Amino acid sequence: MSKKILNISYECAHPSCWVFCKKGVLKLEEPEFKALSSANGGGKGTFKSPPGACRLGFSQTFKVTGIENVEERGGDEGWAEEAAAEGNNPLLDLVEEHKEVLKKLDAIESQVRKRDVEGLWVTTASVENDIILHSIKKEEEVLFPIVEKKIPMGEALVGIMKEDHREFIAILQGFRCGLQDGDILDGLVTTLIVNLRNHISKEDEEFLPMIDAHLDREEKDRVFEAMKKIEKEHVRLTPGDREKKGLSPLSEDRRRMDAEIMALKSITSKGGEACCH
- Asked whether the predicted pLDDT for residue 258 surpasses 80, the reply is no
- Dihedral over alpha carbons 83, 87, 88, 90 (to 10 degrees): 0
According to CATH, the superfamily of the domain at 77-272 is nmb1532 protein domain like (1.20.120.520)
List, for residues 228-241, the tens digit of each pLDDT value.
Answer: 999 999 988 888 88
Mean pLDDT of 32-56: 74
Report the pLDDT value the prediction gives residue 57, as an integer from 0 to 100: 61
Rounded Cα–Cα distance for residues 204 and 198 (Å): 10
Residue 240: predicted pLDDT:
85
**Selection from 73, 182, 195, 61 nearest residue 127 by Cα:** 195
Counting residues of the chain whose pLDDT is more than 90, the rounded percentage is 35
Look at the pTM and tell me if it is higher than 0.75: no
For the chain, the structural domain boundaries read 2-74, 77-272
Compute the distance between CA of residue 203 and CA of residue 223 in angstroms, rounded to an integer: 17
Starting at the edge strand that comes first in sequence, how are the strands of the sheet with 2-12 ordered? 23-29, 2-12, 61-74, 46-48
151: left (phi over 0), alpha (psi -120 to 50) or beta: beta
Q: Exposure of 3 by Cβ count < 10 A (0-12 exposed, 13-18 middle, 19+ buried)?
A: middle
* Helices and strands (H, E) in the chain, number of each type: 10, 4
Q: What are phi and psi of 244, to 5 degrees?
A: -75, 140
